[in-house]
Structure 1
Amino acid sequence: MGRLFGTDGVRGVANTELTAELAYRLGRAGAYVLTRGKQNAKIVVGKDTRISGDMLEAALVAGILSVGGNAIRVGVVSTPGVAYLTRTLGADAGVMISASHNPVADNGIKFFGGDGFKLLDQAEEEIESLLQGEDRMPRPVAGDIGRVEDRSDAVSLYIDYLRTTIPNRFDGLKVVLDCGNGAAFHIAPEVFRALGAEVIAINSQPNGVNINVKCGSTYPDVVREAVLQHSAAIGLSFDGDADRLIAVDEKGQLVDGDYVMAILGRSLKAAGELAKDTIVTTVMSNVGFVKAARELGIELVRTAVGDRYVMEAMREGGYVLGGEQSGHIIMLRHNTTGDGILTAIQLTNVLVAEGKPLSELRSIMRSYPQVLVNVRVGSKEGWDQNENIKHAIRKVEEELGDEGRVLVRPSGTEPLIRVMAEGPDQDQVQEYVDSIANVVRKELGALQ
């Protein structure tokens, strides 16, 4: 068996790769590992709006009950909602059934510990090891079998909590929310309406198969058009499980994760609430964000791509703000994972508190043109020791100087070398990337 757990739980095409049988076994193994030795252990189970969610939930819950765990079903909720409810309800673990921004055919299962944080590699490896070979986990009988508790009120607890994380109301502010026909469809509009905003909700009628279909955070043009059509102050777009946010300002300009971190970082620093005046981000953050942070007197800690690496660095360093350009923003004072709806109200709160349009707040940084080329190669082995490749990279770095950067890295899952560069001029950056990519092709044996 290959490794099941990826960077964000177990994912696959529902009912072929991620089957009900696998979900049942994951429920058994996950409950056993995460609640071992505890009496009347409780596990929160949530899901997004995918049609396969019901099937996988039924199987997963059956697995939990079969080892004596108790399942608290909270229905359709965001991934950060599961993290919050796991802590609030005093559960021993939490599970979210979602494939985030992936198409509807996919689904996933991700576990949280009782502290609301995603599992460390060691726990995932232990769960996975139990799926190999004969099943020797407990099979209690009679009154020791687990029970199901349905908590229809649980999502309201999360909504009420979100409202308490900001001091201001949004009375009279016109806001467009693109819910991606996913988990945000009922949560985001209710939160913003409760705060007084005039809400225009789009893609908020999930039918089981329309999640992420040409909408949500991976299609920002959708919310942009709605903002311009309705003359709204801000547009906020979520992915399928609402742990990611992409925004647009009143002019329709993109406000991605880098802009959001810059705006929130400046606000927190001014309030004396940005721990160590530091933001944690990944190597993919735009050079414009790096320059803006420097001008603001904010230090950056850079990690590998992936919100789990951002979280690890935040916890190790005691930092409170981190995230990715893609819109995963982690605000550790409020939640234990990236939270798109939390980020949305925090960003809107800065808008209201400063009395400035988002376009003015956005001017805190300039996003430099970025070009990425994926080179399919015969072998990635030794790419970083190849003198010709290193020379090509150094040459471009010297020409860009402080006005840009180069990032060349291998794909973790495919025979690809990713060549990325940023700089002031789009055409020039394209030439730089092409020059490095051509050397990579020549040296490593490009595949079609």
Structure 2
Amino acid sequence: MTRLFGTDGVRGVANRDLTPELAFKLGRAGAYVMARSGSGRMVVGRDTRISGDMLQAALSAGICSAGVDVLNVGVIPTPAVALLTRDLGADGGVVISASHNPVEDNGIKFFGPSGFKLSDAKERLIEEMLADPTHEVPTPVGVNVGRIQRVPDADDRYVAFLKQTINLDLKGLKVVVDCANGAAYRVAPRVLQELGADVVPVFNTPDGVNINSGCGSTHPNDLRQTVIRTGAHLGLAHDGDADRLIAVDHRGELVDGDQIMVMCARHLKAQNRLPKNTLVVTVMSNMGLHIAMREAGIEVAQTAVGDRYVLEELLRTGATFGGEQSGHILYLDYSPTGDGILTALQLLAVVQSTGRSLADLAAQMERLPQLLENVKVGNKHRVMSSPELARAIKEAEKHLDGQGRVLVRPSGTESLVRVMAECRDENQMRQVVQELVELVQGL
């Protein structure tokens, strides 16, 4: 059976891979699996992509055809869908988004009633239902079909939740916030303004096609320039669905997820709010993070790439804080999923409470030189299973002789193979990456 669900739901090019027909089937099967014996309601939200209306209409029709009501929260960040699923007492939630991917892509991701991502077992059950033409979902008629209800205060509920996670105001702080022309465009500037910050919003005019286009957490150059030009204390960048955060200090220097986790973990430890004295990260985290955490007396647990694996390790160990270098960071004390706006508020709370600049705080971690290249491939699984690639990776590690590391892995959501190396010797690092990239391109 072909797998539909990847590491972050069902993804693909909208109207080619992820069609309205597939969205309808996913909605119908998802509603049957999740809501057949509960409240009979599911929360549905989306980001700002032009294909979002089309897919939401089809998905919602599928849910309603199974006799389940749709609570439509409209354009809203992915973590807000998770939160509202829990707070509205729904049986599940669905977000239509492809996160940081380009506009032609879209995705469908399910949340369980507690706001956590749907379990692998339930994802497989949905896949089996779609693959088996003999499996019939009960078809209610008349007054028993589902209805679509708008949730007019969805933004208000989410903003109220965010504001109660910090207990100080942001007066005196000038912040540039890049909304990636995505789902954060209303909420992110609003919550910062209501907490007293002087806010300069950028890329907050979505038109359906400009999401993540030269902006957001994966394209921070304009943000860096705006911070310098406006004299802001710092800048914040989200991605298309606002589950990530990358920051920029007053000099325009990038502060990535690793650095954010280091300063926030130290702050949590100082407040006795770091359960198990542990930070959970993925194999992509810079060696500098491990050094900084060792110096701070904080344990580091490491997982495969993907926030779902970070979440699994947090739940397994009883730790509550972790994330990825990309800025996908989880605070389980507050939210069941990664939340870029929540992370931004926690970071700003560290800045305000310590009275130190973001640049000064970020210097607590020395980031070893790291080079990451994304290589487009036809079949990432065939490339990754190549014996020739395995031999080349071993040779590269031998070449670095313990002074760095190499990581080659497939993207969980795109047809890419990511080649990464870290090493104090930048020339050596570039050579290793170039050789591996050329090999991957030829496989």
Pairwise same-fold verdict (TM > 0.5):
yes
Aligned counterparts of 1:145 and 1:190: Cα–Cα separation in 2: 37
Q: Which residue of 2 aligns with 1:196?
A: 196
| Structure 1 range deviating more: 389-398 or 14-23 | 389-398
How far the C-alpha of 1:360 sits from its partner, in A, is 0.5
Q: Pairwise mapping of residues 73-152 of structure 1 onto structure 2 (< 5 A)?
A: 73-132=72-131, 133-152=133-152
Aligned counterparts of 2:392 and 2:240: Cα–Cα separation in 1: 43
Aligned counterparts of 1:218 and 1:392: Cα–Cα separation in 2: 28
How far the C-alpha of 1:172 sits from its partner, in A, is 2.2
Aligned counterparts of 1:388 and 1:239: Cα–Cα separation in 2: 34
Given the alignment of the two structures, is residue 51 of structure 1 paired with residue 50 of structure 2, yes or no? yes
Matched-pair contact (CA < 8 Å) for 2:47–2:183: yes
- CA 1:220 to 1:2, structure 2 compared with 1: closer, same or farther past 3 Å? same
How far the C-alpha of 1:379 sits from its partner, in A, is 5.6
Identity across matched positions, percent: 53
SS in structure 2 opposite 1:365?
coil
Q: Which residue of 1 aligns with 2:282?
A: 282
Aligned counterparts of 1:358 and 1:5: Cα–Cα separation in 2: 38
Aligned counterparts of 2:221 and 2:239: Cα–Cα separation in 1: 14
SS in structure 1 opposite 2:273?
coil
Matched-pair contact (CA < 8 Å) for 2:384–2:409: no
SS in structure 2 opposite 1:5?
coil
- CA 1:235 to 1:53, structure 2 compared with 1: closer, same or farther past 3 Å? same
| Structure 1 range deviating more: 324-333 or 136-145 | 136-145
Aligned counterparts of 2:144 and 2:78: Cα–Cα separation in 1: 30
- CA 1:417 to 1:383, structure 2 compared with 1: closer, same or farther past 3 Å? farther
Aligned counterparts of 2:318 and 2:340: Cα–Cα separation in 1: 22
- CA 1:98 to 1:92, structure 2 compared with 1: closer, same or farther past 3 Å? same
How far the C-alpha of 1:417 sits from its partner, in A, is 6.9
Q: Which residue of 1 aligns with 2:442?
A: 447
What does the per-residue CA deviation read over 1:227-282, in whole Å, with 9 as the maximum and x for residues that have no partner? 00100011001100000111001111111100000010000000000111111000
How far the C-alpha of 1:121 sits from its partner, in A, is 1.3
How far the C-alpha of 1:431 sits from its partner, in A, is 3.1
Aligned counterparts of 2:303 and 2:20: Cα–Cα separation in 1: 35
Matched-pair contact (CA < 8 Å) for 1:328–1:340: yes
- CA 1:354 to 1:33, structure 2 compared with 1: closer, same or farther past 3 Å? same
What does the per-residue CA deviation read over 1:357-404, in whole Å, with 9 as the maximum and x for residues that have no partner? 111011111111112457879864463996675355234234x1xxx3
SS in structure 1 opposite 2:401?
helix
SS in structure 1 opposite 2:201?
strand
Aligned counterparts of 2:316 and 2:366: Cα–Cα separation in 1: 30
Find 2:401's aligned residue among 397, 401, 420. 397
Matched-pair contact (CA < 8 Å) for 2:288–2:365: yes
SS in structure 2 opposite 1:422?
strand
Q: Pairwise mapping of residues 154-193 of structure 1 onto structure 2 (< 5 A)?
A: 154-193=154-193
Ranges in structure 2 where 5+ consecutive residues have no aligned partner: none
Note the aligned Cα RMSD (angstroms): 2.3
SS in structure 1 opposite 2:294?
helix
Q: Which residue of 2 aligns with 1:217?
A: 217
How far the C-alpha of 1:143 sits from its partner, in A, is 2.0
Aligned counterparts of 2:149 and 2:354: Cα–Cα separation in 1: 44
Aligned counterparts of 1:308 and 1:338: Cα–Cα separation in 2: 10
TM-score normalised to structure 2 length? 0.93
- Give the partner amino acid of 1:209: V
TM-score normalised to structure 1 length? 0.92
- CA 1:34 to 1:418, structure 2 compared with 1: closer, same or farther past 3 Å? same
How far the C-alpha of 1:414 sits from its partner, in A, is 9.1
Aligned counterparts of 1:103 and 1:433: Cα–Cα separation in 2: 25
Aligned counterparts of 2:151 and 2:415: Cα–Cα separation in 1: 46
| Structure 1 range deviating more: 320-329 or 362-371 | 362-371
Matched-pair contact (CA < 8 Å) for 1:75–1:152: no
Ranges in structure 1 where 5+ consecutive residues have no aligned partner: none
How far the C-alpha of 1:171 sits from its partner, in A, is 0.9
Matched-pair contact (CA < 8 Å) for 2:6–2:413: no
Q: Which residue of 1 aligns with 2:29?
A: 29
SS in structure 2 opposite 1:43?
strand
What does the per-residue CA deviation read over 1:328-357, in whole Å, with 9 as the maximum and x for residues that have no partner? 000100101110000011101110000111
Matched-pair contact (CA < 8 Å) for 1:183–1:242: yes
